Structure formats: C-alpha cells, structure tokens
Structure 1
C-alpha cells in the first residue's frame, strides 16, 4: 500500500473506531415528567415510573436481558437521572429534574439486575444498557404505553 494511503487510513482510524463504538443511537435530555408512566419492551418487559422516583418492573428476564441477571418476577426499586459529580464520575441523583440516562436501583430479590436506561429517539423511547458507551447495548427498547 502506498505511504500516502497508509497515512490517510491511520488518520481516519480513530474516527472510524469512534463511529463504530458510538453506534447510531444518541441520547436526549428530558424532564422527569417525560419519564413517569408506563413503558413496554418488545418481549413483555414492563416498567412503570412514578413521580416520587420509584418504579415497578416485570418481565425483565427476556432473552436480551438474561446476562444482566434480571428477574421476570414483578420487582420494585428507585430511579434517578445520572448527573456529573466530577471528572469521569456520574451518580444517580434523585433531585435531578432532567437527564438523558436513568440509573435503576432494584430492591429485594431483583438487586442483582444490572441495567440502566438511556433516553433515545427524542425522548420517545428508553433503551436498556449495561454499558455507558452503548445506549442501546442490550437491544431492548421501551416505548410509552398509551
């Protein structure tokens, strides 16, 4: 391969890698009232988010969530938007009024469930993920139920 072509490829490689890792899904910042309500996934997964920052869930044992150790039984917990606390550190903050990533804290037997939700599609969907670099990493997208 010609040296000029190699230099061009080397210059493009970081951008190609970034594009491949980032995927085509971008997140959207929304207010808490856009999260409250009932959300359903494609295989019977369900979340109901309340304004008091609690949630109920069921059906989270679907094929794509198996590795996240979630149970299919009804479960409960708390939710919060992630906020930056410092350089490269984010925490779930119940007082946050808006955000694009939702941290979930399961209670009881479901505590082993390790997923978060990313707000995508302009706030019309929530994607399950276990990777901060891949908003829809678990390939389960929740949409608001009518």
Structure 2
C-alpha cells in the first residue's frame, strides 16, 4: 500500500475516534444522583438559581440567561414549575415516580410549551459533588457560566 492509502486510513480512523469520543463525553461524566441530593438550591455564576423540592416542584430566577431556553417565548418571566427524572437513557418521557437519575426535565407553569433538559455531571460520574447544566445537547457541553452547583446548607447566603 502506498503512502496515500495509509494516510486515508489514518485520517478515517482518527475521524471515527474523535466522533465516538465526543459522543461519549456526556455519558462518561454523567452523575446519577438520588432525589434527596437534588432537593435544595443550585446556582450558577451567570445568575441562574433553582430550588428543587421533594414534591417535584421547583422555583427559580435568572432563566433569561439560560441558552437552552432561547426557544421559550417568555423565559425572563418564568419562575416555577415541575421537574422529573427521565426513566432511562433513551428518548423517554420524564417520570415523577423515578427517584434517581442523571438527567431530568423542567416544565414551566408559565409556559407549558417551554421545557428544558438538565444533565447532571460529576468528575468521571462521581456523584459526590455534582453539577448540572440545562442544555439542548449534553455533548455540546455547558456554556461559560452555565453550570449550576448545589449550595451547601452551611454556606452563608
């Protein structure tokens, strides 16, 4: 085989490896957490704050800066709604009976057509200190200032 043939093979394999590794990035860092760990307040450096309750309701502020919500008609006025984990890895409906997960959906009371997927991340899936990102596609990553982290109960407000 000549040099051009080998170059074509190397470029093809490199392209497949990069495509596959980017596609698995979200799965590698996905952190499955129980509902008890989700409840509480999460905030981002960009100014978004979400407080999750055990009864599957949430309230929040700063949704006008969340890029994943650009399709929502009145995102600056949205402040509360319901949340639910997805039952599995595939394109399933969120289910409020599911008690743990690595991604969930927010549905807003003020705009029923507006819904946002939120992905939970940890350092290589470690759920000890998770963060979350509202995003359309977890493989795209989170925009700067978009990650939300859980506020600790002992931290000053």
Counterpart secondary structure, 1:126:
strand
Match of residue 84 from structure 1: 88
TM-score normalized with structure 1 length: 0.81
Counterpart residue number, 2:53: 50
Report the Cα offset of residue 89 of structure 1.
Answer: 3.1
In the TM superposition, residue 66 of structure 1 has moved relative to its aligned partner by 5.8
- Describe the SS at the equivalent of 1:11: helix
Q: How does 1:60-79 map to 2 (within 5 A)?
A: 60-62=63-65, 64-65=67-68, 67-69=70-72, 71-73=75-77, 75-79=79-83
C-alpha change, 1:137 and 1:18, in structure 2 (3 Å) is farther
8 Å CA contact 1:125, 1:141 repeated in 2: yes
Q: CA deviation at 1:42?
A: 1.3
Partner of 1:12: 14
Corresponding residue number in structure 1 for 2:29: 26
| TM-score, length basis structure 2 | 0.76
Q: Distance in 1 between matches of 2:85 and 2:34?
A: 9
SS of the counterpart of 2:104? strand
Question: Is the 2:33–2:101 Cα contact (8 Å) retained in structure 1?
Answer: yes
Deviation at 1:11, TM superposition (A): 2.3
Question: How far does the alpha carbon of each residue in 1:96-145 deviate from its partner, in whole angstroms, 9 at most, with x for none?
Answer: 1110001111112x4343421111123421111112x4273455100112
Give the aligned length.
Answer: 142
Long gaps (5+) in structure 1: none
Q: Which runs of 4+ in 1 moved over 6 A?
A: none
Structure with bigger strand share is 1
Q: Quick one: structure 1 residues 101 and 66, their matched pair in 2 at CA, closer, same or farther if it must change by over 3 Å?
A: closer
| Cα offset, 1:68, TM superposition | 4.2
Match of 2:155 in 1: none
RMSD: 2.5
